Amino acid sequence: MLTLYSYWRSTTSYRVRVALNLKGLPYRTVPVDLVAGAQRAPDYVAQNPIKGVPTLLLEDGRALTQSLAIMAYLDDIAPDPALLPEDAFQRAQVLAAAQVIATDIHPINNLKVVSRLKTQHGLTADEGTEWMRHWIAEGLQAYQALLPTGPAFSFADVPLLCDLCLVPQLYNAHRWGVDMTPFARLLDIEQQALRLPAFDAARPENQPDAN
């Protein structure tokens, strides 16, 4: 069976949990307590040198890191349902939206970045929260601006790779108190997604390490 090293509140782990569930791939979860610093333990770093979750351990013992790469791998080994459209232009649109979240929003709000701003650069807790709210809101504005009107999810009536990035990011936006008033289209997508068992089972509060 596949093994997912995951943290309940991690948005990158949440993406992969949804992908595994959508594709019906059974897996066991090994919690990595990010708040306790377990991602920096030497045994863990040997598998995931960037010191983050998720890591996906395959049945033969090989490990994969980076949530987008893991999702691409899962799409290759279990193509149904597809996470990317066949059409080259639509595929690029979905990847662009996914990257707004995965490469523009997430890295600058990661635990280690905001912690360092506080410990090394004098940011207060409130300023740290303001930092995250600002960059999440700016990123969500960009994401929403990329979307057509009409489909139930971002680009289609089924969830695609970018929706698997969006829903966890929205969880995070709620967590940090981002004003969601401008994001009605995104909240509709979230509502649709969380009705699906694959998303519901992947929610942070449904994870074994939730507290």
Ligand X SMILES: N[C@@H](CCC(=O)N[C@@H](CS)C(=O)NCC(=O)O)C(=O)O
Residues that bind ligand X (CB under 6 A): 10-12, 34, 39, 51-54, 66-68, 102, 110-112
- Residue closest to ligand X, measured at CB: 52
> Shortest distance, CB of residue 51 to ligand X, whole angstroms?
6
The H or E element that residue 51 is part of is: none
> Shortest distance, CB of residue 52 to ligand X, whole angstroms?
3
* Nearer Cβ to ligand X (68/147): 68
* Nearer Cβ to ligand X (45/148): 45
**Cα distances (Å, whole numbers) of residue 140 to 12, 47, 103, 104, 187:** 16, 32, 13, 10, 11
> Shortest distance, CB of residue 12 to ligand X, whole angstroms?
4
* Nearer Cβ to ligand X (27/192): 27
Tell me how far apart the alpha carbons of residues 170 and 77 are, in angstroms, rounded to a whole number.
28
Tell me how far apart the alpha carbons of residues 187 and 53 are, in angstroms, rounded to a whole number.
26
Residue with tokens 């897996």, as numbered in its chain: 27
> Shortest distance, CB of residue 103 to ligand X, whole angstroms?
8
* Nearer Cβ to ligand X (11/144): 11
> Shortest distance, CB of residue 97 to ligand X, whole angstroms?
15
| 129 neighbors 175 (Cβ within 8 angstroms) | no
* Nearer Cβ to ligand X (152/176): 176
- The type of residue at 120 is Q
Q: What are phi and psi of 148, to 5 degrees?
A: -75, 160
